[in-house]
Amino acid sequence: MRMGNIWAPLARAIAATGTDKHVDCLIDLIGADIDHDLVTVTRYSTTRTPEFVKHRRFSDEMVQRYLASYYVFDPFYASWRRERRLGIMPLKRFADDEAKRGQYIAGFLTQSEICDEVGIMLADGGDWCLGIFLDRSTSAFKESEIALLDERLPVFEALHALDIKARGRAFLRTSAPTGPGASPRQEPTIPTSLWPELSLRERELVQLILAGHPTANIAERLGITVGTVKNHRRRIYEKLDITTERELFLQFFQHRADR
């Protein structure tokens, strides 16, 4: 492993495990000799909406925009919910992903003045992962830089695992609710003027979809079967003349933008 200039940040990261300085020292270690302009740290869950943990040289306004709407187009979030894959995740890995071609790139990243990013995805307990993202504003990450992060990944994973172990089971990295069926931190509200053709039960189900709940979790919360949820979803799509969940989100955000 090429160590470059990371000895000092590595020592600080080791000493910081189990303390409030852990994430910051881990960021310093990861980005020690990888040029980057911005840093964002996000927690992803398979059953709840994402959470911003911290950021560097990134707009607070863009954090709020992400949490309010753009998270649903985040290909990293979609990948975690779908595959729960950990490790080094360059944005270009999602080159064929509809989410990348759509609102995430054209909207969120463009407004954030980000042209490329790479995520270091680390297990963070339960169904959560911690994504530390190095972002660039003017140039893409090189394959050699991605390879260097891959080489060092076992060190990042070991340090984060030590931090979790040192904290104990009662530790919460954020104040989000935990446990099966816990509510997402944000629950988007459907305006009364939107989708009047939907029944109260259908609106309740759509509310859970917008909040990021997967089908099985929706069934548990509503006390119905997974098959019933799928039937409700199919009828909702027919009423709204759409075919995908992405179109449902687009209608919701377009309505909010037009208000």
Q: Provide the 3-class DSSP secondary structure of residue 130.
A: strand
Output the CA angle 153-155-161, nearest 5 degrees.
100
Q: Distance between CA 105 and CA 9 in Å, rounded?
A: 32
Specify whether the CB–CB gap between 28 and 12 falls below 8 A.
yes
Q: Place 169 in a pLDDT band, splitting at 50, 70 and 90.
A: confident
The confidence score (pLDDT) of residue 258 equals 64
Specify whether the CB–CB gap between 14 and 180 falls below 8 A.
no
- Read out DSSP for 6-55? -HHHHHHHHHHTTSTTHHHHHHHHHTTTS--SEEEEEEEESSS--EEEEE
pLDDT in tens, 203-237: 999 988 887 777 888 898 888 999 999 999 999 99
- Least Cα distance to 42 among 28, 55, 60, 24 occurs for 55
- Least Cα distance to 249 among 214, 215, 216, 211 occurs for 211
Residue with tokens 């910081």: 16
CA 31 to chain centre: 20
Model pTM above 0.85: no
The confidence score (pLDDT) of residue 96 equals 55
pLDDT mean over 142-153: 96
Output the CA angle 114-39-157, nearest 5 degrees.
125
Taken in order of first residue, the domains within the chain and their CATH numbers are: 4-165 (3.30.450.80), 198-256 (1.10.10.10)
Selection from 58-72, 113-127, 200-214 with the highest mean pLDDT: 113-127
Q: How far is CA 94 from CA 13, 104, 245, in A?
A: 30, 11, 18
Q: Give me the half-sphere count of Cα atoms (radius 13 Å) on the Cβ side of residue 125.
A: 18
- Residues sharing a CB contact under 8 Å with residue 56, sequence separation 6 or more, in sequence order: 27, 38, 39, 40
Q: Distance between CA 188 and CA 208 in Å, rounded?
A: 9
Complete edge-to-edge strand list for the sheet that includes strand 51-56: 51-56, 38-45, 128-136, 116-123, 87-90
Selection from 99-103, 137-141, 180-184 with the highest mean pLDDT: 137-141
Q: Distance between CA 41 and CA 27 in Å, rounded?
A: 9
pLDDT mean over 122-141: 94
CA 97 to chain centre: 15
Residue-averaged pLDDT of the chain: 85
Output the CA angle 250-253-131, nearest 5 degrees.
85
Say what the alpha-carbon torsion angle 65, 252, 83, 20 is, to the nearest 10 degrees: 30
pLDDT in tens, 8-18: 999 999 999 99
